[in-house]
Amino acid sequence: MNIKPRLNADGITIHTPEEFDGMRKSGALAAEILDMITEHVVPGVTTDALDKLIHDYMIDAGAIPATLGYRGYTKSSCISLNHVVCHGIPSDKKLKDGDILNIDVTCILDGWFGDTSRMYVCGKLSRKAERLIDITHTALMIGIDQVKPGNTFGDIGAAIQAYVEARDVLLYVIFVAMDWAEYFILPLMLCILAAGVPERF
């Protein structure tokens, strides 16, 4: 029997406590993977080797890499090195001292998607890279602080934008569809960084 999803007035699915428990378990595994990979981010290792470690850990935990096979994608993670904004593809490129990279993992555990990413530093960090990481981390916390009843995605983006632009850091304004809960790509399109007055997207 097909059960219709519970939707609020804005068309957003309202999940049950049991469903949230499934999301938490998948999200916890994704975070665990990012903890695991930390010690392997060292000069000389390839991003392909990191991806293989992520793949094996996910499989051993009984999960499925959501990216693997998605529209022909052949990797179990996305690894963005230095100037790559997001969704970099793991390769035979070796990490060098001073590299910064974002590792993005999405696992499917018991039908629920857990998606998270983290910035890593390989070796000794330059002052320029350190400043970038500090600013973006603070911007993330500012954005999270705006996640509350009554606020819109525009409020989140506007708060981030105000903080970052005041520190002379360039913003990339991009549109994405994010995975969450039971789906890899949701139809909802979010503007990562707002331009102008906050509004409902």
For residue range 137-177, list pLDDT tens digits in order.
Answer: 999 999 999 999 999 888 988 899 899 889 888 776 654 54
Given this model, what pLDDT does residue 172 score?
A: 67
**Among 125, 154, 172, residue at a domain's last position:** 125
Residue 177 contacts residue 187 (beta carbons within 8 Å) = yes
Host domain of residue 192: 126-201
Read off φ and ψ for residue 70, nearest 5 degrees. Answer: -70, 115
Does the pLDDT of residue 190 top 50, yes or no? no
How many CB atoms are closer than 10 A to CB 55?
19
CATH at 59: 3.90.230.10
182 Cβ neighbours under 8 A, 6+ residues apart:
111, 112, 113
Examine the pLDDT at 185 and tell me if it is beyond 60. no
Residues 88 and 66 in one domain: yes
The rounded mean pLDDT for the chain is 84
Q: Domain check: are 116 and 139 in the same one? A: no
What does the pLDDT read at residue 153?
Answer: 82
pLDDT, one tens digit per residue, over 68-98 is 999 899 999 999 999 888 889 999 999 999 9
Domain count, the chain: 2
Q: Which of 105, 125, 145 is the last residue of a domain?
A: 125
Residue 183's pLDDT band (boundaries 50, 70, 90)? Answer: low
Beta carbons of 76 and 23 less than 8 angstroms apart: no
Domain co-membership, 89 together with 143: no
Give the chain's radius of gyration (CA, Å). 18
Is 71 found in the same domain as 136?
no
Q: Which domain-ending residue is among 125, 141, 156?
A: 125
Residue 118 token pair = 């983290």
87 and 147 in a single domain? The answer is no
Token representation of residue 166: 């005041």
pLDDT value, residue 12: 77
20 and 108 housed in the same domain: yes
Structure tokens belonging to residue 131: 């400043």
- 19 and 90, same domain (yes or no): yes
Q: Is the pLDDT of residue 123 over 90?
A: yes
If asked whether residues 154 and 136 sit together in one domain, one would say yes
The answer on 147 and 115 residing in a single domain is no
pTM for the predicted model, two decimal places = 0.80
Same domain, 144 and 81: no
Q: Looking at the predicted structure, is the pLDDT value of residue 11 above 60?
A: yes
